[in-house]
């Protein structure tokens, strides 16, 4: 195939290969990703969640930042089915201990307080493996 350069208003437009996602403002916006290409998405999310929970934010701000920034960044990967359920389960297993540590819960405490409903007084952290199935 011959490489062709397209110009728009004097600016060259870069061509994408078959496995490259189209990015808009730094976020992938198409669904042409290979099945296992997004595995580093989980590692990035775990790294971001860990950074949030070990920051100097107040306890309620840490939980709010996790729900606001980490879970909203994962919605594209969840909707496109880029990752498997085991990847999302690995994310849940990685963040559960640090989420429990924030309100000073013991490690063996029930997760109902973390994943329960807001009307029942719970923290309402979504279970990523269950969100993946929706």
In this structure, is residue 9 part of a structural domain? no
In this structure, is residue 100 part of a structural domain? yes
Closest to 38 (Cα-Cα) out of 53, 11, 51, 19: 19
Query: Distance between CA atoms of 27 and 10, rounded to whole angstroms?
Result: 25
Domain count, the chain: 1
Q: For position 35, what pLDDT does the model report?
A: 45
In this structure, is residue 22 part of a structural domain? no
pLDDT in tens, the chain (134 residues): 567 788 888 888 877 666 666 676 666 666 544 444 555 888 888 999 999 999 999 999 999 999 888 888 888 777 777 788 888 889 989 998 888 888 888 878 887 778 777 677 777 787 776 666 66
In this structure, is residue 127 part of a structural domain? yes
Q: For position 12, what pLDDT does the model report?
A: 84
* Residue-range definition of the domain harbouring residue 60: 34-133
In this structure, is residue 77 part of a structural domain? yes
In this structure, is residue 101 part of a structural domain? yes
Q: Check: CB of residue 55 under 8 Å from CB of residue 62.
A: yes
> What pTM did the predictor assign?
0.64
Q: For position 4, what pLDDT does the model report?
A: 77
In this structure, is residue 15 part of a structural domain? no
């Amino acid at each position: 195939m011959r490489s062709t350069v397209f110009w728009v208003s004097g600016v060259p437009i870069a061509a994408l290969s078959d496995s490259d996602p189209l990015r808009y403002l730094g976020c992938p916006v198409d669904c042409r990703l290979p099945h296992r290409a997004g595995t580093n998405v989980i590692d990035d999310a775990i790294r971001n969640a860990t950074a949030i929970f070990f920051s100097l934010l107040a306890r309620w701000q840490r939980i709010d930042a996790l729900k606001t920034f980490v879970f909203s960044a994962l919605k594209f990967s969840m909707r496109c089915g880029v990752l498997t359920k085991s990847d999302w389960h690995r994310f849940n297993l990685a963040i559960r201990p640090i989420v429990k540590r924030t309100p000073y819960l013991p490690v063996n405490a029930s997760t109902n307080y973390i994943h329960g409903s807001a009307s029942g007084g719970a923290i309402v952290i979504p279970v990523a493996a269950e969100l993946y199935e929706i």
